[in-house]
Structure 1
Amino acid sequence: MWERTDTSGTDLAVLDDRRGLYARGYATARDPIPYVCRYELVADESWATAHLDVSVEGAGWLRTLRLERAVGRWRVTTGEQGDLDRALVDGGHGPAGLPGTEEPERLHDAIDIDLAGAPLPNTLPIRRLGLLGAPPGTAHRLTMAWVLVPSLIVMPSEQVYTVVDEQTVRFAIDDFRADLTVDKEGYVVTYPGLAKRR
């Protein structure tokens, strides 16, 4: 269980990692508007993402997303009920836009997903690339399928993972940097500015 440090909220994940990863998560957050996010994340034995199912719900709206990766291609399926755009605008924010992506081919190079606000997906590239125990300075530039929450818009995101020491992996995207503290299995303990495991 992680407690959000950027807003009021938590993220609880129940998982089985004996052969890849099967995880079910339940997250809540107050910002940008209050919502509940449920997700199921499955990675194969190489720790590459096989599929992600997400539903996000708030007062008067619900969005769903399914991302499936097979034969090097992503399939994206979405659903929407109610009016998230109106809820965001009423809360003083801009509209969310449509869930999913109109150009799934832009995700072609992505093997991993990044679910905004959730520390768990960071473990996938850490385990898949063997960053635990790798020499300091070992770095990998990756394209991720980044899922924004609560909109569930999916976009490609260039990210860099760099080993700092045996308990720290630096995560970087554009000008943003965070030194993730991880346990001996590569699960995030502290994600500065986002969450801390309880």
Structure 2
Amino acid sequence: MGTLPKALLWQRTDTDGTDLALLDDRRGLHARGVATATHPVPYVCRYELVTDETWATAHLDVTVEGAGWLRALRLERAAGRWRATTAEQGDLDRVLANAGHARAGLPGTEEPDLLHGAIDVDLAGAPLPNTLPIRRMGMLGAPAGTAHRLTMAWVLVPSLEVLASEQTYRVVDEGTIRFELDGFGADLAVDKEGYVLRYPGLAERKA
């Protein structure tokens, strides 16, 4: 396993937790990350994200683990089609129920065709994947008002259920990208490379 030359660290603002991503973005993106959170139950999330040179997702590997349970997902994109491979140990639903939360969806997707047209992934709670459409669509330096409506392969955490998600990215100004999803909107402050500095209500960059 080779080393990665850059490190980005976010502090979660919606719950106690952090997200550390190590990455190489010289030819597309190769990133490995470790995130922790306390909601809805305490967990650690380890992920590896790889794109091609155009920043289109090639694969995402995610493992989420908590006390007495573990879920894993490999989400691959090839020739415009997605494939999800999953594994599960323990009983996340029982842990969630004991904490007063609803049952989790099953990891992966039973209908990968719903992801047709998706090129990017979005990992819930992680600011890093927001950079994928920003870089892939050339939004850095684009005129204010430039907008793209995209289908994303959205991975929920901690369940690792994969959903098709319609999201809009819109240029507000040089350092701000407006993100919208199902009536929710947030102005993402980004650096000159398109990485999130501040995601209101979710996370802030510390390094």
TM-score by length of 2: 0.95
The code of the aligned residue for 2:57 comes to: T
State the partner residue of 1:47: 55
2:141 to 133, 151, 160: 133
Which amino acid letter does the alignment assign opposite residue 87 of structure 2? G
Q: Which runs of 4+ in 1 moved over 3 A?
A: none
User: What is the alpha-carbon distance in structure 1 between the residues aligned to residue 50 and residue 134 of structure 2?
Assistant: 15
Match of 1:30 in 2: 38
Unaligned runs of at least 5 residues, structure 1 = none
- Residue in 2 that maps onto 1:178: 186
Which residue does the alignment assign to 2:90? 82
**Matching residue of 2:127:** 119
Instruction: State the SS of the aligned residue for 1:42.
Output: strand
Structure 1 position 67 matched with structure 2 position 75:
yes
How do residues 149-164 of structure 1 correspond to structure 2 at under 5 angstroms?
Answer: 149-164=157-172
TM norm structure 1: 1.00
Distance in 2 between the 1:24 and 1:107 partners? 24
Partner of 2:200: 192
- Supply the RMSD in Å over aligned alpha carbons: 0.4
Alpha-carbon offset, residue 97 of structure 1? 2.4
SS for the counterpart of 1:50 is: strand
* Amino acid paired to 1:196: E
Matched residue SS, 1:196: strand
SS in 2 for 1:180: strand
For 2:157, what is the secondary structure of its paired residue?
coil
Alpha-carbon distance, 1:147 to partner = 0.2
Residues in 2 aligned to 1:193 and 1:97: alpha-carbon distance in whole angstroms: 24
Partners of 1:59 and 1:191 lie apart in 2 by 29
2:7 aligned with 1:6, yes or no? no
Residue among 88, 94, 97 paired with 2:102: 94
Matched, 1:104 2:116: no
The residue identity in structure 2 corresponding to 1:81 is Q
